[in-house]
Amino acid sequence: MTTVLVTGGAGFVGAHICKALAARGDRPVVFDNLSAGHEHAVRWGPLVRGDIRSAPDLDRAFAEHRPDAVIHFAANIEVGEGQRLPLRFWDNNVAGVVSLLAAMERAGVAPLVFSSTCAVYGEPDSVPITESESLKPVSVYGRTKLAVEQLLADVASVGGVRYAALRYFNAAGASPDGEIGEEHDPETHLIPNALKAAAGIGGRMKLFGTDYDTRDGTCIRDYVHVMDLADAHLAALDLLLSGTRALTANLGTGHGASVLEVLRAVESVTGLAPPYDVHPRRDGDAPILSADLTHARAVLGFEPKRSDIETIITDAWRFHKRAWGV
Ligand SMILES: NC(=O)c1ccc[n+]([C@@H]2O[C@H](COP(=O)([O-])OP(=O)(O)OC[C@H]3O[C@@H](n4cnc5c(N)ncnc54)[C@H](O)[C@@H]3O)[C@@H](O)[C@H]2O)c1
């Protein structure tokens, strides 16, 4: 049995990975300050309340639970907030990882799976995006994630950490049994907001831009089911535990859905059309972001199984219907 310290394990992606770890007999220990996560999502192991920027909090967790590895989700994630409060993002997302790596070194723990993001690419020169695409993030959020990738490479180069940087595209969906799902506040992601609007509890949707050079004029994004992400995390963890020193991989599907396609899929799954208003384009929204999966397939054996848009929305709706009581 492997014990894994899961920072941010009370959040959306982290909770699903904890469930997947427990399902194969591993022991997730959640380390979370509950600034954005939910205690009710911690169900598969203990919760250590603590902050990644606090050395005493981390030392206590490592001493008490003796993890073999760390999966690191804890971060500030809302892109707009990062633009307004860059210092908060650099402190939590970057200084937080310096603090975490130092604690891992003190505890003699080397394997670390890190939640990176397609935001490290900014507006790519070509799609689907390979890992060798130039890294030109256009947001504070993306820059903090890129800085952590560079930090990990530096520390790994002297043998201090063995890491996997997983660049997720748009994480979505929910546990197929409806037990846990996406509960951000504020929620900025398209699918839960479209479901909310369809259910009549979220007001009208804002659709930003219908004049992009895409098949229907709206932006295309690559939605990947959180359970498929879980499979990739387990594969990355196993590679690190068996000695892999560093890997970086995109996690998406290789094809995307446009905003209008998502809204239509929401209507076909729920039977309810999400009301929306069209607004002008937003700065910094690339027309198409989708992942080239060649590398993830080769190193992680990654093959998305639940990431078609209908399955993602069906699973998300099952969770939200119960959570919202609709
Ligand atoms: N959701 C996506 O589509 C997506 C896409 C790409 C990358 N990511 C990355 O995946 C990770 C998880 O995303 P999510 O959607 O689950 O976010 P989330 O906000 O649901 O979860 C983050 C968790 O980290 C905790 N946390 C934050 N700061 C902390 C700190 N200083 N100490 C301890 N705990 C702290 C929060 O309480 C929360 O439980 C993030 O690092 C995010 O950048 C997410």
Report phi then psi at 187, rounded to 5.
-95, 125
Please indicate, yes or no, whether residues 89 and 237 belong to a single structural domain of this protein: yes
Confirm if 150 and 161 have CB atoms less than 8 A apart: no
The pLDDT score that the predictor gives to residue 78 is: 94
Q: Where in the sequence is the domain holding 279, given as residue range(s)?
A: 190-221+254-324
Confirm if 61 and 43 have CB atoms less than 8 A apart: no
Please indicate, yes or no, whether residues 201 and 312 belong to a single structural domain of this protein: yes
**Is residue 89 included in any domain, yes or no?**
yes
Distance 271 CA to ligand 1 centre (A): 31
Atom of ligand 1 nearest to the CA of 13: 16
The pLDDT score that the predictor gives to residue 284 is: 80
Please work out whether the CB of residue 11 comes within 6 Å of at least one atom of ligand 1.
yes
Please indicate, yes or no, whether residues 201 and 230 belong to a single structural domain of this protein: no
Element (H, E) at 223: strand 223-225
Distance 58 CA to ligand 1 centre (A): 17
**Is residue 180 included in any domain, yes or no?**
no
Cis peptide before 124 (omega within 30 of 0): no
Distance 195 CA to ligand 1 centre (A): 21
* Other Cβ atoms within 10 Å of 130 Cβ, number: 15
**Is residue 119 included in any domain, yes or no?**
yes
Spatial neighbors of 310 by CB under 8 A, at least 6 apart, are 265, 268, 269
Please indicate, yes or no, whether residues 242 and 307 belong to a single structural domain of this protein: no
Separation CA 130–CA 295 (nearest Å): 8
Please indicate, yes or no, whether residues 99 and 119 belong to a single structural domain of this protein: yes
Separation CA 23–CA 12 (nearest Å): 17
Q: Which CATH number does the domain housing residue 286 bear? A: 3.90.25.10
Please indicate, yes or no, whether residues 245 and 316 belong to a single structural domain of this protein: no
Which residue numbers in the chain have pLDDT < 70? Answer: none
Bridge partners of residue 206, in order along the sequence: 277
**Is residue 319 included in any domain, yes or no?**
yes
Give nearest CA residue, ligand 1 atom 23.
8
**Is residue 196 included in any domain, yes or no?**
yes
Please indicate, yes or no, whether residues 263 and 128 belong to a single structural domain of this protein: no
Give nearest CA residue, ligand 1 atom 29.
74
Please indicate, yes or no, whether residues 166 and 155 belong to a single structural domain of this protein: yes
Overall size of the chain counted in residues: 326
Please indicate, yes or no, whether residues 23 and 153 belong to a single structural domain of this protein: yes
Buried b (16+ CB within 10 A) or exposed e, 257-278: bbbbebbbbbeebbeeebebee
The pLDDT score that the predictor gives to residue 160 is: 87
> How many domains are there within the chain?
2
* Other Cβ atoms within 10 Å of 192 Cβ, number: 24
Q: Is 141 a catalytic residue?
A: yes
Instruction: Pick from 19, 35, 78, 225 the residue to mutate for probing ligand 1's pocket: most ligand atoms within 8 Å of its CB.
Output: 35
Q: Which CATH number does the domain housing residue 157 bear? A: 3.40.50.720
Separation CA 233–CA 163 (nearest Å): 11
Contacts for 295-301 with beta carbons within 8 Å, 24 or more apart? 295/130, 295/131, 295/249, 295/250, 296/232, 296/249, 296/250, 296/251, 299/239, 299/247, 299/249, 300/232, 300/235, 300/236, 300/239, 300/247, 300/249, 301/235
Please indicate, yes or no, whether residues 96 and 194 belong to a single structural domain of this protein: no
Please indicate, yes or no, whether residues 21 and 152 belong to a single structural domain of this protein: yes
Please work out whether the CB of residue 117 comes within 6 Å of at least one atom of ligand 1.
yes
The pLDDT score that the predictor gives to residue 219 is: 96
Beta strand 69-72 with 162-168 is unpaired
Please work out whether the CB of residue 8 comes within 6 Å of at least one atom of ligand 1.
yes
Atom of ligand 1 nearest to the CA of 37: 39
**Is residue 177 included in any domain, yes or no?**
no
Instruction: Pick from 6, 77, 152 the residue to mutate for probing ligand 1's pocket: most ligand atoms within 8 Å of its CB.
Output: 77
List 121, 141, 163, 168, catalytic entry: 141
Please indicate, yes or no, whether residues 70 and 55 belong to a single structural domain of this protein: yes
* Other Cβ atoms within 10 Å of 95 Cβ, number: 14
Spatial neighbors of 29 by CB under 8 A, at least 6 apart, are 3, 4, 5, 6, 9, 45, 46, 48, 61, 65, 67
Give nearest CA residue, ligand 1 atom 12.
73
**Is residue 181 included in any domain, yes or no?**
no
Separation CA 265–CA 259 (nearest Å): 10
**Is residue 66 included in any domain, yes or no?**
yes
Confirm if 3 and 26 have CB atoms less than 8 A apart: yes
Distance 9 CA to ligand 1 centre (A): 8
